[in-house]
Amino acid sequence: MRKLSDHIEMAAAEYWQETGNAELAPRWIAEYFQDCGVMDDYPNQNLIGFHALVQKALTLNIERADKVARLQREKSGRNKP
């Protein structure tokens, strides 16, 4: 049985990789919720709550990636003569 946080992070990463969208699609998360064992591992977890948690993780991951990219651009800009 995976931890709920593992399911959340995996769903966010997989969604971003598959779609590149920042807004989580309801049908996609419903299929993930059912097919990837979240329902089996956490029968008391509802889909709406899971959707909110994955959306939050997705948003944080995108913001983090944007920050890293911005810092790398700034760093490369400072290294040019």
pLDDT tens digit sequence for 23-81: 999 999 999 999 999 999 999 999 999 999 999 999 999 999 999 999 998 888 776 65
Read off the DSSP letter of residue 10.
Answer: H
Per-residue pLDDT, averaged over 14-31, amounts to 96
Number of residues that make up the chain? 81
Confidence at residue 76, expressed as pLDDT on a 0 to 100 scale = 84
Q: Hey, how many other C-beta atoms are within 10 angstroms of the C-beta on 32?
A: 21
pLDDT of residue 79: 66
For residues 44-77, one letter each, b for 16 or more C-beta atoms within 10 angstroms of the residue's C-beta and e for the rest, the string is eeeeeebbebbbebbeebeeeeeeeeeeeeeeee
The answer to whether residue 19 scores a pLDDT higher than 90 is yes
pLDDT over 90 (residue 15): yes
38 with 50: CB under 8 angstroms? yes
As a whole number of angstroms, the distance between CA 47 and CA 24 comes to 13
7 or 78, which is more confident: 7
